[in-house]
Amino acid sequence: MKELDFRCSTIESIEQLSKELHLIFDPDDLQDWEYRVGNPKEIERYISHYKTLDNDDKKFSLMEIIIQAATDQHTSAEVGKYWTIIEPILKQNSAVHDYSIFYWCCFDNPDVNDCWDITPYMRDLWKKMNQS
């Protein structure tokens, strides 16, 4: 498995996205911000906003929100529906999102059924992107 550098959201990207998308911003509570502020009902708005971004840190942070919102959908069919939109974005911007893809693969748990709903999709993408 290839080595990846750890990556997380920057305070600047969190603050800017909070303003742009009217998300909660509390400078004293930034740990896991991107996993708490997303609303699965707003996923299409997040995806639309992502497509306007040209800053890699903001793309990284917003994609974390998008992935969380996808995995929080009410049905597996909805997760799959949004995956068809998210996957090409991840592929196109893989240099920005490699760490996210790896993280959401949840490789520390061999039982994919005991992971996030998006994990099987991420593992499949990881496999496709890392075939020799």
pLDDT of res. 93: 96
pLDDT of res. 2: 63
pLDDT of res. 4: 83
Question: What separation in angstroms does the CA of 129 have from each of 11, 87, 95, 116?
Answer: 29, 11, 11, 20
**Of 30 and 95, more confident:** 95
- State if pTM tops 0.85: yes
The span from the CA of 17 to the CA of 19, in Å, is: 5
Mean pLDDT of 71-78: 96
pLDDT at residue 5 greater than cutoff 90? no
pLDDT band at 31 (very low <50, low <70, confident <90, very high): confident
